[in-house]
Structure 1
Amino acid sequence: MFLPAVHAETDTAVLLQFIRENPLGILITGIQSSQQAFLQCSQVPFNPQVKAMIEAVDSKPRNVLEFDDDVMVLFNGKHDHYVTPKFYVETKPDTGKVVPTWNYSAVQIYGKLSIYYDSKTPETDAFLAKQLHDLSEHTERSIMGYTGGDKPQPWKVNDAPDSYIEVMKRNIVGIEIRVNKIEGKFKMSQEKPPGDRDGVVKGFARLGNKTGEAISALVKARGELHDFKKQALNKEGQ
């Protein structure tokens, strides 16, 4: 990931919260395989990506297969958008030296991967049971807002028949990544002069849709954070 300092987010808590809010990661692997493509990416690591994984590690007789090379998972923010130079109301009228860009946010993690693919083994059975429970709880409550009370009750794994869940487990490949690096960025016009940044905030707000409103709010928040950090650094240097 290209990480200019002005766009980089270094707070691990912020990056982890970003992942919780944008949980559909894209698993990216580079695996030597006799039948599958070397580079693969998927939101659902099944066929053929998982076949390449199993081929690479299946010579090791163990219940949990551990992959030697690092993998990467990319998490994209919910909102991104093209930025027209017409939003730059400070620089454009003065010099005309402006070009289009794209505002977006993303987090990447790197780490070692373990594969749980044989549901008949106790390790895989326990791992899949915990993951199904934890992921369902998170997505039902945090993503759907099903928290009970005045809102609907969340769906639970035990709402489905045990026999059905056991069949589903046989068709699920569980992956666990031991994270050794995490990085992220919010490219939200925070490097622009205040007048241009204000033009971007107002320009996106005028789009009149959810994406425009979300980008407008992010540009404003990230701009204010950038100014705060800059002022703090200036005070330290005095």
Structure 2
Amino acid sequence: MYTPKHFEETRPEVMHALIGAHPLATLVTLTADGLAANHIPLQHRAGPTANGTLIGHVARSNPMLENLALDVDVLAIFHGPQAYVSPSWYPTKAEHGKVVPTWNYAVVHAHGRLIVHDDPAWVRAHLTSLTEQMESGFAQPWGLQDAPADFIDKLVGAVVGIEIEVTRLEGKWKASQNQPAPNRQGVIDGLLGRDTPSGCPMAALMKATA
């Protein structure tokens, strides 16, 4: 990933936080047929290394598993806040007009080797953990025990667990750090003024990145 120094994010805890907040990853793998991309929620877990591990599951019928090259790294891409930036928000537009549109975003690339867990007990424990994480904000959280046991057993058998031992993390926080303070504030004000689903989270990230 091309990452100019002023956009580089190297703090593991910040990248881990983005993964936790935006767990749906684009998982890119190398297969006998070339590159494959699947969209899979992945949980981050601490250890055994500083970068931790990512765990998830895929359908047993997913062809990704049939031709997977296990001797090369996979890449999991996590997308955080993103938004279009209009040059009309820059105060310097009125001064010299030398401004152009851009796009702000935050992403994490996680590299590592993929391990397949074809083990019902492992899969069930993972599904329980994932469900508890995603349901934690609900007044009445749903759990696997709320569905018929034979129904859950059938679904557990239809998926395979995956684990990625993360060897390298790359973070890119493109949040107008290359702009002077008035332009950065102009972008924040512009994003908040539009009050769009993508604009407000990016404005908050820009404030945190300042």
With the length of structure 2 as denominator, give the TM-score of the two structures: 0.85
CA–CA distance in 1 between the matches of 2:32 and 2:67?
Answer: 9
Whose Rg is larger? 1
Give yes or no for contact 1:32–1:52 (8 Å, CA) kept in 2. Answer: no
Q: What whole-Å deviation, never above 9, does each CA across 1:126-168 have from its counterpart, x for those lacking one?
A: 2101111110111111xxx12xxxxx22111122222111100
Unaligned runs of 5+ in 1: 58-66, 118-123, 147-151, 224-238
2:130 aligned residue: 135
1:71 correspondence with 2:70: no
SS of equivalent to 2:27: strand
* Aligned 8 A contact 2:192 2:203 in 1: yes
2:79–2:108 Cα contact (<8 Å) kept: yes
Matched residues, number: 193
**Which structure: greater strand fraction?**
2
1:217 paired residue among 201, 204, 210? 204
- Which of residues 24, 29, 36 in structure 2 aligns to 1:40? 36
- Of stretches 158-167 and 20-29 in structure 1, the one that deviates more from structure 2 is 158-167
**Once the 2 structures are TM-superposed, how far is the Cα of residue 52 of structure 1 from its aligned partner?**
4.1
- Considering Cα pairs closer than 8 Å and 6+ residues apart, tell me whether 1 or 2 has the greater RCO: 2
Paired amino acid for 1:127: W
For 2:168 and 2:180, locate their aligned partners in 1 and report how far apart those are by CA, in whole Å: 32
Measured at CA, do residues 212 and 56 of structure 1 come closer, stay the same or move farther in structure 2, by a change above 3 Å?
Answer: closer
CA distance in 2, matches of 1:10, 1:219: 17
Q: Which amino acid aligns with 2:196?
A: N
RMSD after superposition:
1.8
Q: Tell me which protein shows more helix as a share of its residues.
A: 1
Residue aligned with 1:43, SS:
strand
Percent sequence identity over aligned pairs:
36
Match of 1:226 in 2: none
Given the two structures, how large is their TM-score scaled by the length of structure 1? 0.75
Task: Verify the 8 A CA contact 1:85 1:98 in the aligned structure 2.
Answer: yes
Structure 1 residues 20 and 94: CA distance shift in structure 2, 3 A: same
2:26 is aligned to: 26
**Hey, what does 2:99 align to over in structure 1?**
98
CA–CA distance in 1 between the matches of 2:204 and 2:104?
12
1:54 match:
66
